[in-house]
């Protein structure tokens, strides 16, 4: 046995979920060597598989690099080792060599047992406190926090590919394309929304102003009113356009019902912002009956939480907008916590933001007319995303029409 | 008065249609000079305007260049001059300095009177024969044909911008964008189709295979069956996919009704091609009841002419495909002759081909999910085109649904 | 003379800049009527033109709507009227019917003379204070501010189309396309940058992280070092990627010099953020010699101001990032104030933000590989923008190479 | 053992090339069952693996469907069976149930031994003649040809993923993205071109007219002159634009060296076509010294074969264009036969056409500025393609500059 070698093992649906393939790939990509010491592939598709490999590197550093890499793919060291903890030297600062998280389900070996990391997200550190482990973003790190360093004692479980059951994720794989039967996909998305809610799941919408421009505001409002949506994440623009549409019938001055330009239309956008400031808040506009329909209205009427995150391009922004982005991130996280499904519509900014906050097992649907946007979102580690390249102005009304046919869940 | 100057005049809706602006621009772009000798702008919006300008160049060549350019924008020489004719030296060859056409309405001054050029198209030459003038493509030029050279004696009338009336072209200008209320635009397109047919107009569809992939085959079939379409221009792929869908329910092996992959699906595409060859033609498949629905079926049943142009990427191609592209161009031209409206759907190749054959006053609607495709089509001189960036799988069913609500024209 | 009519006049390069055409268009779009009472078109291309029109509406409201619209295009009422001022009722709130600005050069008639509005931007209000007029965004409105309401007493001067001289804006019009000779355009952009600086102009770059991914970081660093850039506007991502590249050679873990994935590469992004927090700021990293090259380094070394605006999708964000977007907007505005040229590279978010802050006469160059992004930026009122659809990883090094050939300005 | 079961086996780099994973996936996708009877995974990365599986279906038809599917992935029946042959009933018609090919290396079991299929392409049939097997397209099928039906006796060998060695394909996987270090990728492509030629490989370019518009004509001409290119596949447009550029300096009337519009520029396109018809052919233009540079010139001077395929959108087309697409396909195939590398530049039409003709082991590089185009090409079965989303006007000159640095191969 080589001086610089170590035994690892891995179990689960190794073949089915390509886990073993990925581990072999990674070792070879890093120019390491391996021997399969033992392999036991499930004879039937639901059986678990098990493999034991001996991994070899050119030197200790090389071996460590390989091990670190394969551990991130779900392999575990044969001999369980405790995690190593180091204190944060000051607020916002992690110790050198801190463990940087994936968005997969993660356990850590602490005081001789495995504990699950809470609030799993990508590219964060793990803080251990009172026998619990938390995934923590930089700006929440406090001086003295006990933070995991190195790769020892960490076990990752990649999500398994959904295979059984009928949902829209099954038939599309992870590819995105505009060459799909749109009406059927709308029906599948509607079924998935319905079933998710029926099973007690939580659904969050992340949306951009194109929802309003393209004439899909009524469809989204209807989904909220019908009880399918548990949270709305957006920016200033969606809210302003939605309220402009609800109060003046226009979106950036264009009459949405007939696509003509309104008289004075150029003012409507700024008039809307002024109207909200005058009322003090969106909720006040609803209370005073100045706002009587639309996405924001339905959120307030139905007590669906929404968070409007500020951005540098905002006009206004509205009083309801959280202008501090670090604070807005915290509020977003509260909304997506425990979500089963997130539907991202025509907003790269807020969609990437939300994607970064999601554990890998949350279903994500991305709808956008621009294929590079869809691709970009799916490339950022949210591999479980379903990309739909379509026109939201036509697609969302189709989804709403399908849901209208179903038995009310209320 | 400068030695190198000439008086030109122009009339029409000069201001409204930007004609005068364009003429001024062109002179200045070419570093020429001009004086406005007389200008008479209509006091009311429907009044015709008239202007007389003195154009000056640095030398005769420069002046000629300027004149040639402004004549193409609708200006005419104050003194009418006869066209100059020269014989084609051999088949397919035009005399040097031949007049290269625009797609605008064009008249030529021949034997002391203005005659209208027939079959107007862009980038062709003009052949004069028996007191008639014809726009003729290179490969139809015969040795000895009398062809116009130079720019003398030619009068162009750019189409005037539609202003009054209710049609979808009015409100959108020439821009394309995905940020439009899709459902309303579908309604407007449906109204325009309906009114065009009601007024005796001829409507031609140019379509690509994405119609089938995206699940819009039934919608297009319905438009044909309902009598709205007078011709279909496509390539091999639309026909093969349409027949695969009509006979096997799939498009490239994907079940269109539920987006799953069919067993044996990879064979369906080639099986379909084989089935048509076996029958001998698409019409034979209809006759023998092997083909009972779809776009090709409706064309044959309703005696709507279609032309399938071959391309280098064809599988097969089907026996009905015209594999010689020069011949296919001739057949396309027969179909688009006298068309009032052409609807181009998800095919850059056939859309550009058709656009090149259309006079500037034909209404063109381009629907594609990829914005650069729409932009490219509109940039190629078909300025009258209306670009719609949408998902045809959702958009065309919306158009069909709108037309279903209307009183039958039959 | 109709009861509901008013005389307006307009002067300038009416034909050349399409101003008159636009005014006629707008009146007709609003179904108004007009008579041209007097028109005096410059006989030569540099002469000013003058026109006097009588505009008629169906009723006072209709007339007012038309007038309001044409005033925004540069027409002025024949009889000068004072502006109307109203007090802001509370902080952040404008009086009803406040005048909403364009991004054009604007004068207001106050105490019987024309004064110029300072800090001109789109979609803001105008506050008059101590005989000066200021363009003010919502969140800077203070209770009691005197704000212009209605459209009286306002004169707009649209920028005239550049015609003479040699700059890259001249030959491209306002269109964007990927079908242009890239190397020549890079040379033209370099010439424009050079000449702008030579003439004492101020140049600001707005950039996204694709600068680093695509390997253009060195080129941008070089432009800054050579003294061509007077300010950098970006977000957290550009800074993090730039510092990751400068310190570790990677961008999101990919080695930029050879496009391979680095060992441990996934950690580099978060490690970089941690390194900056550890140092306390980017400037501290430079001081302690931990950061020795790159865009951020050159900014600090050469005392070029930069502003990093926070966004909801930020990792970290870095201590140098302004997390409050309203504050970040204020800092952005300080940088773009008096800029002659703004170069926007691969970031829709920050580019739209900056575009909103610019008066219409600032030259804007937008470079992005995705055509819809370029189109979207140019559609948002920054009509003077030059859109370049290219690959920044190839384009910016070409620009830098051209500038290297020129005589140093230092 | 189930009534409807069969043993299959598979060998090769099962894990490394994901072959086993795909076989398991396919069985499960079709709702079949399997047992792993024997598995022997190579202990080292270069070892071959072997697996024996028992596949079960619900009934014979189901089992056959599964088997047919896994055979296409590289599995073979344990017991070798002879292929089944059937005669073509008439020209262009294959027998029912004909075997439809993949683009993988394929062997057939005929008269008790394995013979390799020649001219491998996707979606064709296999004709057996005089103990040899040929991949034959529909239009080359002759009445009486012996054609393979069913799936028996066919063995497919998917290409193995390149892992060792230094080439541009290694580090990019199969993904396409605009977020890559462009200059480095250009260097890698140049290295790959150089090494391919050095090793005696054959390189074919497939190109569209954007090569000329974007100013990359000189770069491509240089590659041909330097001996790197063995064939050029294009359409009418590339040739016309190239000759317009070479003779008049413009591309569609735009001066390529400075992006201005030429006087008379609109005529240049048609003038060029006329000039070629006048000369009789492109070769005649070279002979008579009318054409002295450019891509077409270099092809003729250096005796590099080129094929220009006609399309429905052609102006002219030139006398050198093959207007019959079935004939053009045959000529394309002659050029790509035995090619080691195909570089596809900015033309979806000709690239898909060529992709359909290539066996899976040919290296394919696709360069286009529009990501959906790159994605579409790579989705069509040519999985080995490397997609580069870049601006060809900047990218190709970078490649040419890299090759200029290398030692001449001549």
The three state secondary structure string of C30-45 is: CCCEEEEEEEECCCCC
- 3-state class of A306 per DSSP? strand
Grade residue B229 by pLDDT with cuts at 50, 70 and 90.
very high
Whether residue B71 is predicted with pLDDT greater than 90 in this model: the reply is no
pLDDT at A129: 96
Among the residue ranges A85-89, A194-198, B37-41, the one predicted with the least confidence is B37-41
Of A395, A163, C402, whose CA–CA distance to D25 is shortest? Answer: A163
Grade residue B190 by pLDDT with cuts at 50, 70 and 90.
very high
Chains in touch with A (3+ beta-carbon pairs under 8 Å) read B, C, D
CA distance B68 to B76: 10
pLDDT at B42: 62
pLDDT at A384: 63
- What are the C-alpha distances in Å from D273 to residues B141, C115, D247, D319? 13, 60, 11, 9
Residue B8: both structure tokens together: 């030109």
pLDDT tens-digit map of A94-126: 999 999 998 889 999 999 999 999 999 989 999
pLDDT at D387: 86
Q: Is the peptide bond before D117 cis (omega within 30 degrees of 0)?
A: no
- Decide if A353 contacts C313 (C-beta within 8 A): yes
pLDDT tens-digit map of B318-353: 999 999 999 999 999 999 999 999 999 999 999 999
Among the residue ranges A365-374, C261-270, D162-171, the one predicted with the least confidence is D162-171
Length of chain D: 410
CA distance C93 to A82: 59
**C256: which chain D residues are within 8 Å (Cβ-Cβ)?**
181, 184
User: Phi/psi at A187 (nearest 5 deg)?
Assistant: -65, -40
CA distance C66 to A375: 45
User: Phi/psi at C238 (nearest 5 deg)?
Assistant: -60, -45
CATH for C80-159? Answer: 2.40.420.10
Residue C59: both structure tokens together: 């009723």
CA distance C171 to D261: 8
Domain D168-404 listed as CATH 3.40.50.10690:
yes
Whether residue D77 is predicted with pLDDT greater than 90 in this model: the reply is no
Percentage of chain D beyond pLDDT 70 is: 90
Whether residue A383 is predicted with pLDDT greater than 60 in this model: the reply is no
Strands C132-136, C113-118: pairing is: parallel
pLDDT tens-digit map of D117-126: 999 998 999 9
pLDDT at A160: 67
Q: In what order do the strands lie in the sheet with B105-110?
A: B84-87, B146-149, B125-129, B132-136, B113-118, B105-110, B154-157
Q: Helices A392-404 and A217-225: crossing angle, nearest 10°?
A: 30
Category of B294 on φ-ψ map: left (φ > 0), alpha (ψ -120 to 50) or beta:
left
Residue D303 gets which letter from DSSP?
T
Asked if the C-beta of D387 comes within 8 angstroms of chain C's C-beta atoms, the answer is no
pLDDT at D75: 86
Of C174, C163, C176, C242, whose CA–CA distance to C205 is shortest? Answer: C242
pLDDT at B146: 97
State the average pLDDT over residues D178-207: 92
| pLDDT, chain D, mean | 88
User: Under 8 Å CB-to-CB from A289, ≥6 apart: which residues?
Assistant: none
State the average pLDDT over residues D389-405: 94
pLDDT at A177: 61
pLDDT tens-digit map of B367-388: 998 888 887 777 655 456 788 9
Among A33, A177, A178, the residue with its CB nearest the CB of D44 is A33
pLDDT tens-digit map of D24-72: 778 877 778 877 777 776 655 566 778 888 898 999 988 988 888 888 8
Q: Is the peptide bond before D317 cis (omega within 30 degrees of 0)?
A: yes
Q: Which of residues 313-372 of D touch C (CB under 8 A)?
A: 369-371
- What are the C-alpha distances in Å from D172 to residues A384, C215, C258, D312, D400? 21, 16, 11, 36, 21
pLDDT at A172: 42
Q: Is the peptide bond before C317 cis (omega within 30 degrees of 0)?
A: yes
pLDDT at A152: 87
Locus of tokens 């008289």: A263
Kindly calculate the radius of gyration of chain C based on its CA atoms and give it in whole angstroms. 24
* Residue D364 buriedness (CB in 10 A; 0-12 / 13-18 / 19+): buried
pLDDT at B279: 97
pLDDT at A174: 39
What's the gap between Cα D116 and its chain centre? Answer: 20
**B210: which chain A residues are within 8 Å (Cβ-Cβ)?**
178-179
Whether residue C83 is predicted with pLDDT greater than 60 in this model: the reply is yes
pLDDT at B306: 98
Q: Which has the higher per-residue pLDDT, D207 or C257? A: D207
Q: Which of residues 67-106 of B touch D (CB under 8 A)?
A: 68-69, 72, 89, 92-94, 96, 98, 100
Grade residue D222 by pLDDT with cuts at 50, 70 and 90.
very high
**D175: which chain A residues are within 8 Å (Cβ-Cβ)?**
379
Grade residue D210 by pLDDT with cuts at 50, 70 and 90.
very high
pLDDT tens-digit map of A158-188: 876 544 433 444 444 435 566 678 999 999 9
Å between D389 CA and nearest CA of chain A? 11
First-to-final CA distance of chain A? 65
pLDDT tens-digit map of A279-332: 999 999 999 999 999 999 999 999 999 999 999 999 999 999 999 999 999 999
The yes-or-no answer to whether C1-78 and C80-159 have a common fold is: no
Among A49-63, B366-380, D90-104, D174-188, name the most confident range: D90-104
Å between A93 CA and nearest CA of chain C? 6
Whether residue D289 is predicted with pLDDT greater than 70 in this model: the reply is yes
pLDDT at C44: 58
Is the ipTM beyond the 0.95 threshold? no
- Torsion over CA: C275, C279, C283, C285 (sign): negative
- Decide if C134 contacts C119 (C-beta within 8 A): yes
Question: DSSP for C311-346?
Answer: -TT-SS--TTSB-BHHHHHHHHHHHHTT-SEEEEES
Among the residue ranges B62-71, C219-228, C326-335, the one predicted with the least confidence is B62-71
Q: Which has the higher per-residue pLDDT, A14 or A79? A: A79
Per residue in B367-388, is it b (16+ CB within 10 Å) or e — as a string? bbbbbbbbbbbbebbbebbbbb
Whether residue D167 is predicted with pLDDT greater than 50 in this model: the reply is no
pLDDT at D178: 65
Question: For chains C and D, what is the number of CB pairs under 8 angstroms?
Answer: 121
Q: Which has the higher per-residue pLDDT, A278 or D3? A: A278
CA distance C32 to B62: 42
CATH of A80-160 among 3.40.50.2030, 3.40.50.11900, 2.40.420.10, 1.10.1040.10: 2.40.420.10
pLDDT at A72: 85
pLDDT tens-digit map of A388-402: 989 999 999 999 999
Percentage of chain B beyond pLDDT 70 is: 90
User: Under 8 Å CB-to-CB from A116, ≥6 apart: which residues?
Assistant: A105, A106, A107, A133
Contact C182 D258 (CB under 8 A): no
- Going from N- to C-terminal start, the domains of chain D cover 1-78, 80-160, 168-404
- Decide if C60 contacts C32 (C-beta within 8 A): no
Question: DSSP for D36-51?
Answer: EEEEE--SSTTS-EEE
Among D28, D41, D163, the residue with its CB nearest the CB of A45 is D28
CA distance A388 to A190: 13
| pLDDT, chain C, mean | 88
Among B30, B139, B349, the residue with its CB nearest the CB of D311 is B349
Asked if the C-beta of C24 comes within 8 angstroms of chain B's C-beta atoms, the answer is yes
- Decide if B303 contacts B297 (C-beta within 8 A): no
Contact A180 B213 (CB under 8 A): yes
pLDDT at B49: 78
pLDDT at B20: 77
CA distance D28 to D35: 12
pLDDT tens-digit map of D335-344: 999 999 999 9
- Decide if C388 contacts C171 (C-beta within 8 A): no
Kindly calculate the radius of gyration of chain D based on its CA atoms and give it in whole angstroms. 24
Q: What's the helix, strand, coil split of chain A in %, to 5?
A: 35, 25, 40
**D214: which chain C residues are within 8 Å (Cβ-Cβ)?**
178-182
Asked if the C-beta of B195 comes within 8 angstroms of chain C's C-beta atoms, the answer is no
- What are the C-alpha distances in Å from A55 to residues A68, A69, C63, D194? 12, 12, 83, 36
Residue C5: both structure tokens together: 């009519």
pLDDT tens-digit map of C210-229: 999 999 999 999 999 999 99
pLDDT at D44: 58
| pLDDT, chain B, mean | 88
Contact B393 A180 (CB under 8 A): yes
pLDDT at C2: 62
CA distance A398 to D28: 32
pLDDT tens-digit map of C162-215: 444 334 444 444 355 666 789 999 999 999 999 999 999 999 999 999 999 999
Whether residue D172 is predicted with pLDDT greater than 60 in this model: the reply is no
CATH of A1-78 among 3.90.1150.10, 3.30.70.2690, 3.40.50.720, 3.40.50.880: 3.30.70.2690
CA distance D170 to D270: 45
- Decide if A15 contacts D20 (C-beta within 8 A): yes
Whether residue C37 is predicted with pLDDT greater than 90 in this model: the reply is no
Percentage of chain C beyond pLDDT 90 is: 60
Tell me the sheet residues that pair with A232: A205, A306
pLDDT at B380: 59
Å between D4 CA and nearest CA of chain A? 16
State the average pLDDT over residues A60-65: 88
Helix/strand/coil (H/E/C) assignment for every residue in chain B = CCCCEEEEEEEECCCCCCHHHHHHHHHHHCCCEEEEEEEECCCCCCCCEEEEEEEECCCHHHHHHHHHHHHCCCCEECCCCCCEEEECCECCECCCCECCCCCCEEEEEECCEEEEEECCCCCCEEEEECCEEEEECHHHCCCCCEEEECCCCEEEECCCCCCCCCCHHHHHCCCEECCCCHHHHHHHHHHHHHHHHHCCCCEEEEECCHHHHCCCHHHHHHHHHCCCCCEEEEEHHHHHHHHHHHHHCEECCEECCCCCECCCHHHHHHHHHHHHHHHCCHHHHHHCCCCCCCHHHHHHHCCCCEEEECCCCCCCCCCCCECEHHHHHHHHHHHHCCCCEEEEECCHHHHHHHHCCCCCCCEEEEEECCHHHHHHHHHCCCCCEEEEECCHHHHHHHHHHHHHCCCCCC
Q: Is the peptide bond before B317 cis (omega within 30 degrees of 0)?
A: yes
pLDDT tens-digit map of B194-204: 999 999 999 99
């Amino acid at each position: 046995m080589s001086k610089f070698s170590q035994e690892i093992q891995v179990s689960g649906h190794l073949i089915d979920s390509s886990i073993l393939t990925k581990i072999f790939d990674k070792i070879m990509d890093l120019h390491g060597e391996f021997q399969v010491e033992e392999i036991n592939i499930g004879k039937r598709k639901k059986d678990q598989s098990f493999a034991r490999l001996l991994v070899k590197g050119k030197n200790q550093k090389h071996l460590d690099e390989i091990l670190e890499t394969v551990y991130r793919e779900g392999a575990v060291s044969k001999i369980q080792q405790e995690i190593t903890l180091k204190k944060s030297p000051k607020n916002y600062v992690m110790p050198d060599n801190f463990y940087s998280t994936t968005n997969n389900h993660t356990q850590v070996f602490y005081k001789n047992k495995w504990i699950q990391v809470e609030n799993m997200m990508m590219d964060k550190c793990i803080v251990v406190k009172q026998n619990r482990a938390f995934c923590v973003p930089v700006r929440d790190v406090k001086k003295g926090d006990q933070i995991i360093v190195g790769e020892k004692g960490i076990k990752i479980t990649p999500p398994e590919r959904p295979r059984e059951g009928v949902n829209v994720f099954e038939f599309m794989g992870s590819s995105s394309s505009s060459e799909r039967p749109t009406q059927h996909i709308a029906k599948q998305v509607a079924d998935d929304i319905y079933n998710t809610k029926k099973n007690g799941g939580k659904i969050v919408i992340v949306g951009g102003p194109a929802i309003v421009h393209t004439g899909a505001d009524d469809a989204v409002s209807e989904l909220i009113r019908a009880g399918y949506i548990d949270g709305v994440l957006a920016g200033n623009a969606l809210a302003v356009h939605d309220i402009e549409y609800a109060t003046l019938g226009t979106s950036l001055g264009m009459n949405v019902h007939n696509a003509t330009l309104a008289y004075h239309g150029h003012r409507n956008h700024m008039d809307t912002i002024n109207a909200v400031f005058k009322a003090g808040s969106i909720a006040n506009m609803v209370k005073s009956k100045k706002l009587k329909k639309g996405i924001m209205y339905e959120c307030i009427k139905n007590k669906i939480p929404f968070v409007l995150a500020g951005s540098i391009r905002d006009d206004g922004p509205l009083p309801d907008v959280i202008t501090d982005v670090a604070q807005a991130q915290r509020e977003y996280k509260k909304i997506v916590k425990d979500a089963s499904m997130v539907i991202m519509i025509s907003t790269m900014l807020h969609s990437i933001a939300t994607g970064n906050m999601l554990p890998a097992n949350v279903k994500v649907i991305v709808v956008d007319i621009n294929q590079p946007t869809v691709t970009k979102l799916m490339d950022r580690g949210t591999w479980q995303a379903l990309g739909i390249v379509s026109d939201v102005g036509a697609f969302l009304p189709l989804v709403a029409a399908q849901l209208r046919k179903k038995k009310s869940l209320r």
